[in-house]
Structure 1
Amino acid sequence: MSNIYGSILETVGNTPVIRLGRLEPKGIELYAKLEAFNPLGSVKDRLALGIIEAAERDGRLQPGQTVIEATSGNTGIGLAMVCARKGYPLVIVMAESFSVERRRLMRFLGARVVLTPASEKGTGMVEKARELAAAHGWFWTRQFENEANANIHSDTTAREILRDFGGTGPDYFVTGAGTGGTLKGVARVLRAESPKTRIIVAEPENAPMLASSIGQQYRSDATPAASHPLFRPHPMQGWSPDFIPKLTGDAVDFGLIDLIQPVAGSEALRLARELARQEGIFCGVTGGATLAAALDVAKTARPGSRILFMVPDTGERYLSTPLFDAIGQEMDAAEQEISNSTPLCRFGGPTSQAAAVSVATIDPAPDHARHFVEQAIKDPGQPVVMFALEWCEFCWAVRRFLKDIGVPFRSVDLDSVAMQVGDLGGDIRKVLRVMTGAATIPQIFIGGIHVGGSVDLLQLHDAGKLVSVLDKAGVTPTGDITLTARSYLPKWLAARPAA
């Protein structure tokens, strides 16, 4: 087969399936389908090409017409590639909370990126796209309900899977649900041609919209009418927007899903890193999440089962997100020790490990970050302050707990859009680490006193001591103080015996 192509668009699809060599459970064959091998690095390249070419065929998209879409990033990047090659102007609407790498990539490819407030979530993006399309006569690709999205996966992704697994399909197919295109398109083909294949959908544990069986409200045009009541922020960008897309809803209604597997955000992050370090597979958070779901399936699968999980994109989309939170730019102590093991050193002479640690300790952050923290924890108008992350399941546990016991609090979300300016959020974390001796988030203060992280706060309540701490700060709970705080922790941790 020739490796010479007429355009970049001819390279979309035919992504490889890789068997895991180190993370595969004993007695199970575990396979990853690596969608990062698409030309612009994600599964959404298929969607972009499928939707644009379907619109060209039926005349909805005219030569030179502007294309518009609301997206968390990967669809926009794929559309930017397709529109660049085909000559269509492109406008992307994107919530300001998504990673900055994505918006810069789209602009690099020639797209215009319009940002919407993070507080408006995914439904806000969709409404802005609707507004702009109607005002200017642009072609709105409508990825969340466009059947061409599912069709391209039926025609390509599903066929590749059947081909690679000898025509019968794997025993289990594990995917997530972003737009629902991959899920609906692949599942309906496997259901028809490989009926023994079980379809598993991974879903953020803290946003169990599908598992809840609570239906989504739609407008007459199948766009979401409102946010789903069980949506919560989570780290799996591209999955589970604040509504259930029509294509995902179709998969539910048509009985294409055999199991919905909840995945904790921390586990998705951990396994994305393990895929890189154990298998050399560089992926985003959703790749770690589908692996987590696949490993859960493997626990009860019969010996010899073949499990295929989707890896939707590449890790380079996540450099500014919590996935890379522990990855530093400078040498850590171990790397400094390696450097010091020979005479030639970066800074002209050996530097002891102790000295390196000392420098890190005495240079925590600029004064403005230190001042921000001091003002926040000493604010008499809001004695309970939590330094948090928007998506973090531990932060959400504390938020729900404090709300239920009737304690007002301030949540300073260090990964919020406002905190990204000048990396204020990062500088505040440095201050907190020096003040508390802890690198983890959340960190909670009551009346200016540091009480610890989420587990510390919840255990303080279960030990009968929290109310007195609040009382000293002038705070009186107005809710149910008899509840068990530990039950608010993520299920995997709440089940462990208390320390």
Structure 2
Amino acid sequence: MARYDTILDTIGNTPLVRLGKLAPPGVNVFAKLESFNPLGSVKDRMARAVIEAAERAGTLAPGQTVVEATSGNTGIGLAMVCAQKGYPLVVVMAENFSIERRKLLRFLGAKVVLTPAAEKGSGMLAKAVELSQAHGWFLCRQFENPANAEVHMRTTAREILADFEGDTLHCFVTGTGTGGTLLGVGRVLRQADPRIRIVVAEPDNAPILASGIPQPRDANGAPSRSHPHFQPHLIQGWTPDFIPRLTQSARDEQLVDEIVPIAGADALRVARELATVEGILAGPSSGATVVAALHVARRSAPGTNIVCMLPDTGERYMSTPLFEHISETMNDDEVAISRSTPGYRFDRPTPPPVCAIPGLAPVPDEEPLDARAEAFVAQVIRDKPVVLFALEWCEFCWAVRKLFARLGIDYESVDLDSVAYQQGDLGVKIRAVLRKQFAQTIPQIFIGGAHIGGCTELFDAMRSGQMQQQLEGARVDYDRKIALDPYTLLPNWVHPREPA
């Protein structure tokens, strides 16, 4: 295995994989799997290139905040680059893009500002420009930044040509979001061999390129309003509601030989087939690109070599229609498999879950309680307004933590399985005190010195209003405006009790 100085050095050199089952016999359709980039998409290339071009030009100062409008993948790539290089990042994203992307961005340290879905891509771009101008932040301008196309000329296109050294590439198929991949790869392929056909796919209900209608622009060349042929579509990352300048350059340079319209339902269907037939996990834009590549393949001569871009992975689409047919619970076939053997059955009553401390022997009930543990329990309950006796790994404990976090409740967490309580088996001894004096299970919660009980007892107390009364009696501040059913915070495998 190679060794790298930073995660950024692992970007690029993604594999070409032949689609041997989906493609028609005799025609070679190769997918360039950009999910092999470190943050899972083709945008990792552009993110590094844009930031480093700005550093070289002196337009990005050390510690300056970076801002960009993105449907998600560019933002995720930028979050990686900015985290590694030490730049704060603000991402502007329309509210209709997948929840997974927002969470990934925030997990990587970025701030995410949402714009109304009705304002479309041009709305989130306008917001990013506004924030940049108001705060002096560096705006990446991915839709027009030359570094976007340049990195694909320098890397992506060269990788494809190297993979076909000694062979002939006949066709390159891609979708278009910013236009950087199309323009950069298209330039190099056209220069290397003018016979290579370049095919662009776009949503069939948003044919802004195929329409031939120019993009309305202001005096600075920026889109002044949505393209008249734009409609919302299922293929996230493709076709904003305007023609980006990079995409327009590709058209002006006559790099597009054909435009293939793709139905959103076909994009989702083929993305699922990539997973179940080829074992390739990819998103809707990848599915759509493969639809276009197969369209070309079916009318191509045997021996034709076609390369299509698969921009990202499928994991960031779990909250979208791509995964709507996937259930969190067992289907009939899975239930039948479960019932085919007698043990470990979910359709039989089981004892209520009791969290234990793995690897540590319990203290028998008949043994005297440890005086230090007794004193600790009494003191922490007396001195702290809200106390949670918990285990670090327990999902019920995490459900309580999530509730306290949502309500803004400050609490003391005594994590019995943590390193702090391993010395002298103190955690086990505290557990014995709790078991003998209060209850068998973990977690156990106390408010204002009063024993509330475990996870579900706390949730029931919130539903009845008892928890709120206890908090107010103990003068504990919390957010009274939040309307929340606490049982929604339990893990999905739990079947919570219904309210009486």
**Matched ranges for 1:85-484 at <5 A:** 85-166=84-165, 170-349=169-348
Distance 1:273 1:287, change over 3 A: same
Secondary structure of 2:32's aligned partner? strand
Instruction: Determine the structure 2 residue equivalent to 1:478.
Output: none
**1:144 corresponds to which letter in structure 2?**
F
**2:197 corresponds to which letter in structure 1?**
R
Structure 1 residues 457-489: Cα deviation after superposition (integer angstroms, max 9, x where no partner): xxxxxxxxxxxxxxxxxxxxxxxxxxxxxxxxx
Q: How much does 1:21 deviate?
A: 2.0
Q: How much does 1:347 deviate?
A: 2.4
Secondary structure of 2:152's aligned partner? helix
Q: How much does 1:253 deviate?
A: 1.1
Q: How much does 1:196 deviate?
A: 1.4
Q: How much does 1:326 deviate?
A: 0.3
Secondary structure of 2:112's aligned partner? strand
Instruction: Determine the structure 2 residue equivalent to 1:413.
Output: none
Q: 2 CA distance for matches of 1:20 and 1:189?
A: 24
Which 5+ residue runs of structure 2 have no aligned equivalent? 350-483, 486-500
**Matched ranges for 1:483-494 at <5 A:** none
Q: 1 CA distance for matches of 2:106 and 2:232?
A: 26
Q: How much does 1:109 deviate?
A: 0.5
Secondary structure of 2:280's aligned partner? coil
Q: 2 CA distance for matches of 1:117 and 1:154?
A: 35
Q: 2 CA distance for matches of 1:329 and 1:218?
A: 46
Q: Is the contact made by 1:162 and 1:168 (CA closer than 8 Å) also made in structure 2?
A: no
Q: Is the contact made by 2:91 and 2:112 (CA closer than 8 Å) also made in structure 1?
A: yes
**1:139 corresponds to which letter in structure 2?**
F
Instruction: Determine the structure 2 residue equivalent to 1:47.
Output: 46
Q: How much does 1:223 deviate?
A: 2.2
Corresponding pairs, count: 351
- TM-align CA RMSD: 1.4
Q: Is the contact made by 2:217 and 2:224 (CA closer than 8 Å) also made in structure 1?
A: yes
Q: 2 CA distance for matches of 1:46 and 1:221?
A: 27
State the percentage of identical aligned residues: 63
**2:47 corresponds to which letter in structure 1?**
A
**1:96 corresponds to which letter in structure 2?**
E
Q: 2 CA distance for matches of 1:96 and 1:348?
A: 40
Q: How much does 1:24 deviate?
A: 1.9
Q: 2 CA distance for matches of 1:111 and 1:342?
A: 48
Q: 2 CA distance for matches of 1:169 and 1:56?
A: 38
Q: 2 CA distance for matches of 1:29 and 1:240?
A: 27
Q: Is the contact made by 1:42 and 1:313 (CA closer than 8 Å) also made in structure 2?
A: yes
**Matched ranges for 1:59-78 at <5 A:** 59-78=58-77
Q: Is the contact made by 1:50 and 1:152 (CA closer than 8 Å) also made in structure 2?
A: yes
**2:119 corresponds to which letter in structure 1?**
E
State TM-score, norm by structure 2.
0.69
Q: Is the contact made by 1:145 and 1:223 (CA closer than 8 Å) also made in structure 2?
A: no
Q: 2 CA distance for matches of 1:138 and 1:152?
A: 23
Secondary structure of 2:176's aligned partner? coil
Deviation above 6 Å: which 4+ runs of structure 1?
Answer: none
Instruction: Determine the structure 1 residue equivalent to 2:447.
Output: none
Secondary structure of 2:77's aligned partner? helix
State TM-score, norm by structure 1.
0.69
Q: Is the contact made by 1:145 and 1:222 (CA closer than 8 Å) also made in structure 2?
A: no
Q: Which has the larger displacement, 83-92 or 333-342?
A: 333-342
Which 5+ residue runs of structure 1 have no aligned equivalent? 351-420, 423-499
**Matched ranges for 1:10-21 at <5 A:** 10-21=9-20
Q: 2 CA distance for matches of 1:128 and 1:53?
A: 24
Q: Is the contact made by 2:32 and 2:310 (CA closer than 8 Å) also made in structure 1?
A: yes
2:35 equivalent to 1:36? yes
Instruction: Determine the structure 2 residue equivalent to 1:406.
Output: none
Structure 1 residues 160-180: Cα deviation after superposition (integer angstroms, max 9, x where no partner): 000001166621100000000
Q: How much does 1:219 deviate?
A: 2.5
Q: How much does 1:345 deviate?
A: 4.5
Q: How much does 1:194 deviate?
A: 1.9
**1:224 corresponds to which letter in structure 2?**
P
Distance 1:167 1:52, change over 3 A: farther
Secondary structure of 2:49's aligned partner? helix
Secondary structure of 2:271's aligned partner? helix
Secondary structure of 1:25's aligned partner? coil
